[in-house]
Amino acid sequence: MPNQTPKDFASYAAHFPKPVQQRLKQMRATVKKAAPGATEKISYGIPAFFLNGMLVWLAGFKNHIGFYPRVDAISAFKKDLSPYKSAKGSVQFPHDRPLPLALIARIVRFRVAQNLKHG
C-alpha cells in the first residue's frame, strides 16, 4: 500500500509487484467496460468509480484484491461470491485464483442500475 495518497490509478498500482499490478489492471478494465460512463478517482486512498454517486472501489493487498461494491451488491450476489471471503460490503479475490471477471462485470452493472435508478 502506498505511503502517501496516490493521485491516480497508475501511481496507486505502481506500488505493487507486477503480478498484482496486472490483476488491478484487469479489475480496472472490467469495471470501465461494465460502467463506460463512470469517472475514476482516488477515494479513501484507493481507486474508485463514480456514476451518479459511488459505484465501487478496488484495492491491492499482499494476498488478494479487495473489491468494495457496497452492501446491496454483496447481498444480491451472495451465492456467486460464496467461494470468496467477504464482509458486509466487500469481497476478497485471492491472488492464487483467477479473477472472476464476468461476475465482477455483473456486479458493476448491478451497481450502475442502482445508481441510475436512485440518481
Rounded Cα distance, 102 and 89, in Å: 19
Number of separate domains in the chain: 1
Is residue 99, in this structure, part of any structural domain at all? yes
Rounded Cα distance, 1 and 61, in Å: 7
Is residue 83, in this structure, part of any structural domain at all? yes
Take residue 90 and report the three cell numbers written for it: 466487500
Average pLDDT over residues 99-116: 97
What's the confidence (pLDDT) of residue 97?
Answer: 96
pLDDT tens, residue by residue, 42-98: 999 999 999 999 999 999 999 999 999 999 999 999 999 999 999 999 999 999 999
Is residue 111, in this structure, part of any structural domain at all? yes
DSSP-derived pairing of the beta strands 46-50 and 64-68: unpaired
pLDDT tens, residue by residue, 50-60: 999 999 999 99
Is residue 1, in this structure, part of any structural domain at all? no
- The pLDDT of residue 2 is above 50: no
Rounded Cα distance, 83 and 40, in Å: 28
pLDDT tens, residue by residue, 9-49: 999 999 999 999 999 999 999 999 999 999 999 999 999 99
The CATH code of the domain that includes 45 is: 3.90.1150.200
Rounded Cα distance, 44 and 14, in Å: 17
Is residue 86, in this structure, part of any structural domain at all? yes
Domain that holds residue 83: 9-118
Is residue 3, in this structure, part of any structural domain at all? no
